[in-house]
Amino acid sequence: MNWGKWIVVSFVLFAAFIATLVTVCVRQDISLVTKDYYKQELAYQDQLERKQNANQLTMKPDLVVENDFMEVRYHDLGSVTSGTITLFRPSDASLDHQFDLAPTEDTVVRFPLQHYEKGLYKARMQWTMNGKEYFIEKIIVL
């Protein structure tokens, strides 16, 4: 047996092992919380003000999931000039969904959820009313 030959074979096997590990690591999907994370981090103070505005409301909106529908229950939906509701899935960004919130005279707005993947979501509601912006967040399970 030639020791030099086995040393070269061991280096080649080690290099193949490292190349395999690098390939596996590069192909992994690493989902960030959002794609524009740094942009949102810069606007964090605005988000805190939206949350504070929502906390000062005497009657807050309620997000409820019933019978494959998400209901937004709020007595002042007629004053809402614009808004969005985002269903944020922490485990998989491809399962996120967004709904537009428009002014209505009803006190309840329903959004269908039949075709969405079951699991844990964060329901984030951001809206503008009377010239102020508001934000609430609630954890829901479909």
Architecture of the domain defined by 37-141: Sandwich (2.60)
The domains of the chain are located at: 1-30, 37-141
Output the tens digit of pLDDT for each of the chain's 142 residues: 578 888 999 999 999 999 999 999 888 876 656 666 677 777 788 888 999 998 988 888 888 888 888 888 888 878 888 889 988 888 877 888 888 888 888 888 888 888 888 888 899 999 998 889 999 999 988 8
| HSE value, Cβ hemisphere, 13 Å, CA-based, for 108 | 7
Instruction: Give the Cα separation of 139 and 124 in Å (integer).
Output: 9
CA dihedral for 23, 29, 30, 35, sign (positive or negative): positive
For 11-24, the pLDDT digits (tens) are: 999 999 999 999 99
| pTM for this predicted structure | 0.70
DSSP line for 5-53? HHHHHHHHHHHHHHHHHHHHHHH-----S-TTHHHHHHTHHHHHHHHHH
